[in-house]
Amino acid sequence: MNVLQALNGLVKPVESGLTTQEWRDRALQTEAKLLRVASQSVALQAENARLRHNWRRQRPTDSQIIHRASGDCLLMFGLFLSGFETTRARCLDELGISKRRWNWARALAQLAGVHDGTDFYSHLAMAEVITRLREGAATAEEQPVLLRGYMPKNGGPTRTAGR
């Protein structure tokens, strides 16, 4: 049932003084507007889906990488303080940190001076680690090439951390 048929059954043209033809013309105009709005809505939904897809696929900025690596590094240090190894496998199982994120976090920890490439420094307190990580993140924000210098060259870790 289209809009025209629905209006014909519900509205009587006698009430407002419009003729039947004028009611039909208005109904057709309204139906045409509704169809335009519906087609625009479908087009916008498709464009939103495309934009969401492209947004997910874009590469993160250096700032986003550093921010995420800082949080991951703090989680890894907490795991270290708990007496666990901070290997890639352990961090993936316990913290959900992927290989790439683990490498970025380890690189930031090395840049900040809280990690020697194998393990965290055990003589540092949590407050000192947080301070150094903030300073390291600020340095990495200014010069991202320094952080990239600590990343493994072959895509894998140079050594896995362990005790």
Q: Which amino acid is at 87?
A: T
Q: How many domains does the chain have?
A: 2
Question: Based on the domain organization, do 80 and 121 belong to the same domain?
Answer: yes
Q: Which domain holds residue 23?
A: 3-57
Residue 18 scores a pLDDT above 90: no
Domain assignment present for residue 154? The answer is no
Question: Based on the domain organization, do 87 and 28 belong to the same domain?
Answer: no
Residue 12 scores a pLDDT above 80: no
Token look-up 């055990």 returns 122
Q: Give the tokens for residue 46.
A: 């498709």
pLDDT at position 20 is: 83
Domain assignment present for residue 135? The answer is yes
Question: Based on the domain organization, do 30 and 70 belong to the same domain?
Answer: no
Domain assignment present for residue 47? The answer is yes
Domain assignment present for residue 79? The answer is yes
pLDDT at position 47 is: 93
Domain assignment present for residue 158? The answer is no
Question: Based on the domain organization, do 14 and 68 belong to the same domain?
Answer: no
Q: What is the pTM of this model?
A: 0.61
Question: Based on the domain organization, do 100 and 40 belong to the same domain?
Answer: no
Q: Around Cβ 102, how many Cβ atoms within 10 Å?
A: 25
- CA-CA distance, 69 to 107, in Å (whole number)? 9
**C-beta separation of 52 from 82 below 8 A:** no
Question: Based on the domain organization, do 77 and 25 belong to the same domain?
Answer: no
Question: Based on the domain organization, do 72 and 120 belong to the same domain?
Answer: yes
- CA-CA distance, 83 to 94, in Å (whole number)? 13
- CA-CA distance, 43 to 28, in Å (whole number)? 23
Query: Cα dist. 82→77, 86, 147 in Å?
Result: 9, 10, 27
**Region 51-66: what's the mean pLDDT?**
84
Domain assignment present for residue 159? The answer is no
Question: Based on the domain organization, do 81 and 32 belong to the same domain?
Answer: no
Domain assignment present for residue 48? The answer is yes
pLDDT in tens, 92-104: 998 999 999 999 9
- CA-CA distance, 125 to 71, in Å (whole number)? 17
Domain assignment present for residue 74? The answer is yes
- CA-CA distance, 11 to 2, in Å (whole number)? 14
The last residue of one of the domains, among 42, 57, 72, is 57
